[in-house]
Structure 1
């Protein structure tokens, strides 16, 4: 598929067909994610892959959606056979930029104009989403509620020095992909590009 078509077709899919995802395709998503730009080639990310029914069910429970919880969004999202959780390590970036080739002598966060540990993990997540489209799949990026981060960490043994940037459901698109989402209710803005000056 042409890259422009991948970009054009990328949508957040909220309902999936009852078909497994080829593990080789999941591996390609992760290989592409690891090619994302990252400050200082820190590679301070990690990816938790949940691709068994038990692990996926445990994810939903750990993030606050017990088996009896029901709503249109959740009912659709729970049909995904795969959940990928991109995580980032701020400590990895602070350590990397305290190395000799970067010229900083400490791990101070004050030097960072923006927290690139979040930015880089977001770029990696986008490559997962784009690879899903290229492979003919659907995917949806969403946040893990803050009040459930501790239970998520406990359920999957996530170390304290890694934080999830969100989660991505992956699967074959259902005929009815669920709620249309915000783009169905809002126009795409055309006033975001400024050339030369604002």
Structure 2
């Protein structure tokens, strides 16, 4: 697909065909593209957990879903995804990298960072997974892991303490279209969100 077509076609898919696994070579391309994302100082402090076995996927949903929670339409559709990719950030890698001689800092002081680039860079990598999925004829959805279920997730999969899951991505072949009600909101026009020259430029008066 042309890049512009991939961007226009990308949307969050929340229901998948459970009988069509993601081919192994496609899984590898998804992950290979993820690590091509930009990262501050070329730190590349991310880590990815790829879950394609049914037992591993079931363990993921058991760990991240509150006990006794009813299976919603959203969860039922998401559980059908044949692949889950969990992107993680690693703050320590960034603090270490920027304490190296070529960066000019002599310590690991987190206050030097205007925003947590370790999370941002893992987000960049996640977007490449989403776009690659579209290019491969697949659907994907990025979603969050509830904070109170993070410990259960870590324990289930042995995630090291330095790695923070920033969310999770389901991937698979979309089931017959069932669009999210959120899509009725439509895309906000460029002139509503882009400010040229100064922030107030182009903002309608009340």
TM-score by length of 1: 0.96
Q: C-alpha distance in 2, partners of 1:38/1:9?
A: 26
Moved over 6 A (4+): none
For 2:123, what is the secondary structure of its paired residue? helix
Q: C-alpha distance in 2, partners of 1:160/1:182?
A: 35
Which structure has the larger Rg?
2
User: CA distance change for structure 1 residues 154 and 96 in 2, over 3 Å: closer, same or farther?
Assistant: same
| Within-5 A mapping of 1:46-65 | 46-64=47-65
Taking CA–CA contacts closer than 8 Å with sequence separation of 6 or more, which of the two structures ends up with the larger relative contact order? 1
Task: Please list the CA deviations of residues 151-187 of structure 1 after superposition, one character each: whole Å capped at 9, or x if unmatched.
Answer: 00000000000000100000011113x4514122x13
Task: Please list the CA deviations of residues 5-41 of structure 1 after superposition, one character each: whole Å capped at 9, or x if unmatched.
Answer: 0000001000001211101101101111100010000
1:175 paired residue number: 176
Q: C-alpha distance in 2, partners of 1:24/1:182?
A: 33
2:12 counterpart of 1:7: no
Q: C-alpha distance in 1, partners of 2:30/2:130?
A: 8
2:186 paired residue number: 187
Higher mean C-alpha displacement, 65-74 vs 14-23: 65-74
2:86 paired residue number: 85
Give 1:196 shift. Answer: 1.1
Work out the number of aligned pairs and report it.
196
Please tell me the root mean square deviation across aligned C-alpha atoms, in Å: 1.3
Q: C-alpha distance in 1, partners of 2:2/2:73?
A: 33
1:134 paired residue number: 135
Q: Which runs of 5+ in 1 are unaligned?
A: none
Q: Which runs of 5+ in 2 are unaligned?
A: 200-206
Contact 2:63-2:152 at 8 Å conserved across structures: yes
1:42 paired residue number: 43
Give 1:67 shift. Answer: 8.8
